[in-house]
Amino acid sequence: MEACAPWWISNNVKPEAPEKDMGGYTVVQFSAEQQAKFGCDASGAVTDEAVHGAALKECAEEVTLEKCDGFYIPAGGDLQEDTLTVEDAKKKALELDGCKGFCFEGEDSGAPVKVFFKDNCETFAGEGWTTYKCPEEFVEEEPEICGVGLMVAGGDDMVGGGLCGGASEEQDADEDVQKICDGLKQEIEKAAQAKGWNGTLSSLKVLKCKMQVVAGTNYFVKAKINDADFFHLRIHEPLPHTGEPPSLADILVDKGDVPVDYF
């Protein structure tokens, strides 16, 4: 499902202040200079819409799309079709999630044309066509977390029910959550033993989860261990642009087969 990336990711802005330790996970922070420039607070929440909008417009104007005359992107992978000027299409391509380029028939005369926004930029020679490719750093993968969407920091709209700072409703854990937990089995075993669990982890099956959107994602997971015990796990997954892997933040080994809750 679709989710909106935070404004700093979609506009290729790197938070410059040291990350803030939240006890088990960290959150990005913006420097005083960035806060003044982008009209936001230290966490990235927008505090001045006018200043923020002007700064993002300036960022967009600094970006150059690659123009390919006589080339088109084949049918399929259409994110959207629209009739607008090429200059407006360039702006829209940088704002549209997953867009890697767009093409249209003819040349840019300044008049509106029918534009095809694409999720790929595979071009083929085609007389009478024009293609623009987005810079790679502007193409962000859209996160899918427990089937719940994200909310942009400082925004009013929520996508898919995930509230920034609050935990979602309990739901069935999916394959992505299972993969994350599988990658943390060693850490889970050690942490459980440190909490007094006397065993060796041979199997782990995720059952239920909640999600909390922060600067990244906190998962609260109920898992069945060795077909017998139930562990409740809190796992933090950083934002994709950090390149950091998920980590185990906390574990409860004696809570049993009860609904997942925030801890």
Closest alpha carbon to 30 in 45, 46, 43, 20:
43
DSSP state, 5?
P
Model confidence pTM above 0.75: no
Give 167-191 as a 3 state SS string. Answer: ECCCEECCHHHHHHHHCCHHHHHHH
The confidence score (pLDDT) of residue 94 equals 80
- Answer yes or no: are the C-beta atoms of 189 and 201 closer than 8 Å: yes
Instruction: Divide the 263 residues of the chain into consecutive groups of 10 and give the mean pLDDT of each group.
Output: 57 84 78 94 90 82 80 88 92 85 92 93 88 71 36 34 55 91 92 90 92 79 92 88 85 90 79
Helix (H, G, I), strand (E, B) or coil at 122: coil
Helix (H, G, I), strand (E, B) or coil at 120: coil
The confidence score (pLDDT) of residue 19 equals 87
Residue count of the chain, please give it.
263
The confidence score (pLDDT) of residue 157 equals 35
Residue ranges per structural domain of the chain:
66-134
Topology of 66-134 in CATH? Hepatocyte Growth Factor (3.50.4)
CA distance 175 to 75: 31
